[in-house]
A and B are shown apart, each in its own frame.
Chain A
Amino acid sequence: MRERAAVLAGAAALCAAPFLLEALDEAFLLSVLTRMLAYALAAAALDLVLGYGGMVSFGHGAFLGTGAYVAGVLLHHRADGSAVTDWPVRIGGTAEALLAWPAAAIVCGLLAAAIGAISLRTRGVHFIMITLAFAQMVFFLVLALPQYGGTDGLMVPSRNVLAGASLAGDAPLYWVALVLLALFLAFARSAMAARFGLALRGARMNERRALALGLPVYRLRLAAFILSGAVTGLAGAILANQASFVSPDLLSWQRSGELLVMVILGGQGTLYGPVLGAVALLLAEEELAAITEHWMLILGPVLLVVVLFFRGGLWRVVAGARGDG
């Protein structure tokens, strides 16, 4: 009951935000909110793997960054009329979000399939380390691509268009990000209550039992990992639009760590919690950075307190809902 009320309140606040900010003459803040929504999408996607699947991926920055680069690179080539590749088939640039964003999701889904297929053969700390190692490989691979800016990052010349309609300005991108977040949350909630979720959660709670039942534990986890990677890539594509810039920093292990913090801070295994966690973490970073450049010194202990004393995260405090068993 209380969880439902909290979700409705959050949805109402996010829907009202553009109008409210307009009225307050603070419309420029909408771009900041869009960034939060993109991170919220990535954090919710990570929760599928972390909270429900029990897989601590320390490599989701690779998907966030790759998704951003796919959207950015397609826009980059579209602007100068060149091709991404001429072989085996010519792939030109595009500004169309209906092409570029699914492309970002598919590329990241394939990347997740490759990383997951190997990483999921390990458990525990090994899994954490191997996902981190793969993400670092992607990071250095992208740094070694001078045509896309290398360490300087990639300037994105224009925003995507959605079915021909411009996403320029803060409001259109905000609404698109909000709709995508809502759609993903609705789908993920249903998937976790459906057979797939029951099996994925069961395998997390007791792998030995799951195997003895005959559940295809490896394939279930790989499917969750691929879905999570693809959606995180989609979030990256939104970020590329929001910032008009793709930084290789998105691929870094710090970013992977931030996503983990968002999920744990918000409450893993709740889907909504990570959304709240993303908003809270980015807000705290922003506010604290305005006070002191040593904001990490304040944020670190705060995170420790939340993790130690608010098991279940912020979502449990706000909505009274516990994470998945």
Chain B
Amino acid sequence: MARPALEACGLTRRFGALAANEDVSLTLLPGECHAVIGPNGAGKSTLVAMLAGEQRPDAGTVLLGGEDVTALGPARRARRGIARSFQITQLCRGLTVRQNVMLAVQAAEGRNFRFLRPARSDPALTGEAEAALAAAGLAARAGVPAALLSHGEQRQLELAIALSQAPRVLLLDEPAAGLGAAGTPALTRRLAALKGRVAILLVEHDMDTVFALADRITVLAGGRVIASGRPEAIRADRAVREAYLGDIVDA
């Protein structure tokens, strides 16, 4: 078996008496799409925050490509190959769409302390940014401030930004949130095209998206892993049906 791209070992995170995550372990193999599902409050966002480095676990470790990154903050993990999207879109709203992507390319490339050449005429940034925007279908909106994009376009941009970081691991926190019935299939197609190229940890409520993309599924409830396995097995799992899926799957 290939070495996991990302591995969570016994992650625990408590807020006072509440255990948001309790001994959560999972692996993400290279090129795999691993979905994490669970009811609201199951601890999915806390898990993503610990994997991305925004929150430190009270116990447990995070391994990135076999290397222990538990002590590293989000920027250092990003430089080691983790990119993410947020449940609530996080963009530099005063920058243009193009600049948002250029910044991601720049951050991945790592040369930030340049003072003289205008970034807009730096081919290393603009070339990749244009390509990423074209792929995201945002080329026509490149010069618009990110704040003026529609919700759906902002979600597109957030994904384009994460991909521009050339990540090894992509953490997607509810990428379909707010897209509606019209936008979700397009997103699913985009993510399907990425499969095999980057390891994706997908937190998502939309079950059609999850079952269309996931190679494996881990189910969280009450901060604990209650099931983990292939989609067919999860679909059939009694505990999962009782805890969460219920009529969603039946319907």
Binding site for B on A (CB under 8 A): 187, 190-191, 193-199, 201-202, 205-206, 208-217, 220, 223, 324-325
Contact = CB atoms under 8 A, between A and B. Distances in A.
A324 B120 CA distance: 16
A206 B114 CA distance: 21
Contacts of B84: 212
A223 B115 CA distance: 11
B74 A211 contact: yes
A199 B116 CA distance: 14
16 contacts: A190-B116, A193-B118, A196-B114, A196-B115, A198-B95, A206-B91, A208-B90, A209-B90, A209-B161, A211-B73, A212-B74, A213-B108, A214-B107, A220-B113, A324-B94, A325-B145
Given A195-B111, A195-B117, A198-B106, 20 more contacts: A190-B115, A194-B119, A195-B112, A195-B113, A195-B122, A196-B112, A198-B95, A198-B102, A201-B94, A202-B99, A205-B92, A209-B86, A209-B161, A210-B103, A211-B54, A211-B74, A212-B84, A214-B76, A214-B110, A216-B112
Nearest to A203: B92
B165 interface: yes
Contacts of B120: 193
B192 interface: no
A201 B102 CA distance: 13
**SS class of chain A's interface: helix, strand, loop or mixed?**
helix
A7 B117 CA distance: 21
Given A191-B115, A209-B92, A324-B94, A199 B106 contact: yes
B35 interface: no
Contacts of B74: 211-212
Contacts of B145: 325
Contacts of A205: 92-95
B115 A217 contact: no
A201 B95 contact: yes
Contacts of A202: 92, 95, 99-100, 103
B75 to A, nearest CB: 5
Contacts of A217: 75
B138 interface: no
Nearest to A200: B112
A194 B120 CA distance: 8
Contacts of A195: 106, 111-114, 117, 119, 122, 125
B115 A214 contact: no
Complex A-B, nearest 6 residue pairs according to Cβ-Cβ distance, in ascending order: A325-B94, A214-B78, A213-B107, A214-B79, A205-B92, A209-B90
Contacts of B90: 206, 208-209, 212
Contacts of A193: 118-120
A193 B117 CA distance: 8
A212 to B, nearest CB: 5
B75 A211 contact: yes
A215 B113 CA distance: 11
Given A199-B107, A201-B92, A205-B93, A213 B116 contact: no
Nearest to B107: A213
Contacts of B91: 206, 209
A215 B107 contact: yes
A305 to B, nearest CB: 26
Contacts of B113: 195-196, 220, 223
Contacts of A190: 115-116, 118
A206 B75 CA distance: 13
A117 B90 CA distance: 27
